[in-house]
A and B are shown apart, each in its own frame.
Chain A
């Protein structure tokens, strides 16, 4: 399926869970068919039901979560980006869910793809985005008592950690 077809199916089924009226693209024009260049924006509180549908539907069969990343857009917005691919249908799609810095909450998809578990912990660790309904939301790379989220654009490194000076 092309990205446009996937978008149309999702829009018809989920409607208001897709905030944008059409397929989003980095260049502005959504050229259907280039499924890696375009993305579908989804509501941060409804990622699980959309992803469950994308995994289970016989037309979609997105059995693989290739990557799950976090982004700080430096304008008060955080994003989580999902790269999905289907081994069976041989198509790919990108989903993005956005949240604000004041209310950084995005629903977990680790019950849909087990891969998401550690990736979502990494997003939580480095961006401070709280992944709702995650089974085990702890830091994954940094120590548990680390202060701050290093990949945030406004991150300031702490002066000392357990008596060790951190900055140069």
Chain B
């Protein structure tokens, strides 16, 4: 609210599109599913901590899929875990987004050839909106991924009829 704080008199009317307002609200409060799978989760925690402070983007970790908008798949998705991730994704309410963080979640990473236990990319079980490369990605890269997702949300329309 920095741009609007204490700059106007009482009883103002602002004109914008409803989509613009809704999208502004949605992209400013992308609540995150609170879970991590491997070393990428350490970088995700670093992004949450004070140096990078992911909360200034409105990203708040929630411990239940019912309350979240975005799932960060942060780490190696084992085949045993893949069905759990699918279930968690199914439990999220729409509109829902997925950020695949790190090479393992993108494509299997270092496990691509001999990792019999690793799913070669989380996009084999759930749709992914943003891929962040890196092993693991720096917190800045995660922030960039969130901003990419915000761009995507900004272009969407919640109220227009779908074909």
Give A residues with C-beta under 8 Å from B: 141-143, 150, 155, 157, 161-162, 164-168
Contact = CB atoms under 8 A, between A and B. Distances in A.
Nearest to B77: A164
10 contacts: A142-B80, A142-B117, A143-B80, A161-B79, A162-B83, A164-B124, A164-B125, A166-B116, A168-B107, A168-B113
A74 B77 CA distance: 30
Contacts, number: 27
Contacts of A142: 80, 117
Contacts of A168: 107-108, 112-113, 120
A150 B124 CA distance: 22
Contact of B82 (A150, A155, A157, A164): A164
A167 to B, nearest CB: 7
B79 A165 contact: no
Interface of B: 79-80, 82-83, 107-108, 112-113, 116-117, 119-120, 124-125
Nearest to A156: B116
B120 A167 contact: yes
A77 B148 CA distance: 54
Contacts of B116: 150, 155, 157, 166
B72 to A, nearest CB: 21
Contacts of B108: 168
A41 to B, nearest CB: 31
A167 B112 CA distance: 8
B85 to A, nearest CB: 11
Contact of A165 (B80, B83, B120): B120
B124 A165 contact: yes
Contacts of A162: 83
Contacts of B107: 168
A143 B80 CA distance: 7
Contacts of A150: 116-117
B127 to A, nearest CB: 15
Contacts of A167: 120
Contacts of B82: 164
